[in-house]
Chain A
């Protein structure tokens, strides 16, 4: 497995973590049904909501950073290629 594939697997793990956060936000209502919505702000519900928000934000920030760094590297590589082509052109 080369570096790009390992990195892609890591990104997949980050996406799964974000989905885990979404699940955590919805879990009480999905598991206990509509009546649980009235008890969401007890200690358990508050902890789950905060943890879910933290997970979603962490995953989103991680994915955003990876995409931003990837785009920056791609732009830099394209500029280098253009400069090299311009230098080689007669």
Chain B
């Protein structure tokens, strides 16, 4: 069950709540309606109404708690599913595309610029959710790029690739 079945929970709460109210009424009805009873002890109608009402209140209270626990579990499951759902891949893709574009530029310089521009314009068309999410992948990509360039420059000497 991926979604919250609100009607199911509401019907359970309504039925049990009505039973709880009925139990409360049974508890107090001997005194509200002034049941006939002997002076020294409760009569049979009072005993029946009171103890049945007590049982109904106890059972319906426990049942309400159980249904509330079911609802809480469903809400937790829903929240977990929402948290596990991947965030809109707006920002990471921008850095990744930029990194891919730079790698392509290192391999084939004339076409890489156009690819990078296209990737940037596509990414810029999407909304950016969080500045941190923008900066962290960007900084990571830049750092990786820098390390790659330095290692390439060390391997090829001073006349290596450069932009």
Which of A's residues lie within 8 Å of B, judged by CB? 2-3, 6-7, 9-10, 13-14, 16-17, 20, 23-24, 27-28, 31-32, 36, 42-45, 47-48, 51, 54-55, 58-59, 61-62, 65-66, 69-70, 73
Report B-chain residues with C-beta under 8 Å of the C-beta of A73.
Answer: 1, 5
- Kindly state whether residue B33 has any CB partner on chain A within 8 Å: yes
Q: Which residues of B in the span 89-106 have a Cβ within 8 Å of any Cβ on A?
A: none
- Kindly state whether residue B141 has any CB partner on chain A within 8 Å: no
Report A-chain residues with C-beta under 8 Å of the C-beta of B62.
Answer: 13
Binding site of A, secondary structure by majority: helix, strand, loop or mixed?
Answer: helix
> B11–A69 contact, CB under 8 A?
yes
Given contacts A3-B74, A51-B25, A69-B7, 12 further A-B contacts (CB under 8 A): A10-B12, A13-B59, A13-B66, A16-B63, A24-B52, A28-B45, A44-B35, A44-B49, A48-B26, A48-B52, A58-B15, A73-B1
> B11–A20 contact, CB under 8 A?
no
A47-B18 Cα distance, complex, nearest whole Å: 15
Report B-chain residues with C-beta under 8 Å of the C-beta of A6.
Answer: 66, 69-70, 73
Q: Which 9 pairs from chain A and chain B are nearest by CB?
A: A62-B15, A13-B63, A44-B45, A65-B11, A10-B66, A3-B73, A69-B8, A58-B18, A43-B33
Binding site of B, secondary structure by majority: helix, strand, loop or mixed?
Answer: helix
A7-B19 Cα distance, complex, nearest whole Å: 17
Which of B's residues lie within 8 Å of A, judged by CB? 1, 5, 7-8, 11-12, 14-16, 18-19, 22, 25-26, 29-30, 33-36, 44-49, 52, 55-56, 59-60, 62-63, 66-67, 69-70, 73-74, 77
> B7–A14 contact, CB under 8 A?
no
> A17–B19 contact, CB under 8 A?
yes
Closest to A10 in B: B66
Nearest CB on A from B57, distance (A):
10
Nearest CB on B from A10, distance (A):
4
> A20–B52 contact, CB under 8 A?
yes
> A14–B12 contact, CB under 8 A?
yes
Report A-chain residues with C-beta under 8 Å of the C-beta of B36.
Answer: 42, 44
Report A-chain residues with C-beta under 8 Å of the C-beta of B48.
Answer: 24, 27-28, 31, 48
Known contacts: A3-B74, A58-B18. The answer to whether A66 contacts B5 by CB under 8 A is: no
Report A-chain residues with C-beta under 8 Å of the C-beta of B33.
Answer: 43-44, 47
